[in-house]
Amino acid sequence: MNDLSEQLRGLWLPLVTPFRGGELDETSLRRLLRHYLALPVDGLILAATSGEGMSLSTSELERLVAVARAEISASRRYVPICLGLSGASTRKMCDALDETAGWPIDGYLIASPYYTRPSQRGLLQHFTQLADHASWPLVLYNIPYRTAVDIDNDTLLELARHPNIAGMKDCCADRSRSIDLLRRRPAGFRVLTGEDAQYHNALVDGADGAILLSAHVETEAFAAVRTMLWEGNQAGAEAQWRDVGNLTRLLFSEPSPSPAKHWLWRIGLIDSPEVRLPMVEVSAELAAELDREIDRRAPQLLLRA
Q: What is the pLDDT of residues 1-52, one digit of tens each?
A: 458 999 999 999 999 999 999 999 999 999 999 999 999 999 999 999 999 9
**How far apart (Å, rounded) are the C-alpha atoms in residues 180 and 183?**
5
- Mean pLDDT calculated for residue range 290-303: 76
For 255, half-sphere exposure in the C-beta direction (CA atoms, 13 angstrom radius) is 11
pLDDT at 297: 84
| Residue 79: domain span | 3-231
Q: Is 192 inside a domain boundary?
A: yes
The H or E element spanning position 81 is strand 81-85
pLDDT at 142: 97
Contact yes or no for 99/136 (Cβ under 8 A)? no
- Mean pLDDT calculated for residue range 224-248: 95
Confidence of residue 166 (pLDDT cuts 50, 70, 90): very high
pLDDT at 39: 97
- Mean pLDDT calculated for residue range 277-285: 98
pLDDT at 305: 39
Q: Is 142 inside a domain boundary?
A: yes
Q: Is 7 inside a domain boundary?
A: yes
Q: Is 184 inside a domain boundary?
A: yes
Q: How large a percentage of the chain has pLDDT more than 90?
A: 96
**How far apart (Å, rounded) are the C-alpha atoms in residues 211 and 193?**
6
The H or E element spanning position 95 is helix 90-99
Q: Is 130 inside a domain boundary?
A: yes
pLDDT at 301: 56
Please state whether the peptide bond connecting residue 257 to the residue before it is cis, i.e. omega within 30 degrees of 0: yes
> Please, what is the Cα angle at 213 between 239 and 166, to 5 degrees?
100
Nearest partner of 252 among 199, 180, 203, 298, judged by Cα: 199
**How far apart (Å, rounded) are the C-alpha atoms in residues 44 and 77?**
13
Q: What is the CATH number of the domain that holds 154?
A: 3.20.20.70
Q: Is 70 inside a domain boundary?
A: yes
Contact yes or no for 157/191 (Cβ under 8 A)? no
For residue 282, CA distances in Å to 57, 206, 219, 250, 274 come to 24, 35, 22, 11, 10
pLDDT at 2: 56
Four-residue CA torsion sign, 95, 139, 103, 211: positive
Angle separating helix axes 234-251 and 219-230, nearest 10 degrees? 150
DSSP symbols for 174-240: -HHHHHHHHHHPPTT-EEEE--GGGHHHHHHHT--EEE-GGGGSSHHHHHHHHHHHHTT-HHHHHHH
Q: Is 60 inside a domain boundary?
A: yes
For 100-156, what is the HEC assignment? CCCCCCCEEEEECCCCCCCCHHHHHHHHHHHHHHCCCCEEEEECHHHHCCCCCHHHH
Indicate which residues carry an active-site annotation: 141, 169
In the chain, the number of structural domains is 1
Q: Is 236 inside a domain boundary?
A: no
> Please, what is the Cα angle at 41 between 39 and 46, to 5 degrees?
120
pTM above threshold 0.85 = yes
CB neighbours (10 Å) of residue 249?
Answer: 11
pLDDT at 1: 41
The H or E element spanning position 166 is strand 165-170
- Mean pLDDT calculated for residue range 58-80: 97
pLDDT at 3: 86
Query: Following CA atoms 246, 247, 253, 258 in sequence, which dihedral angle do they give, to the nearest 10 degrees?
Result: 180
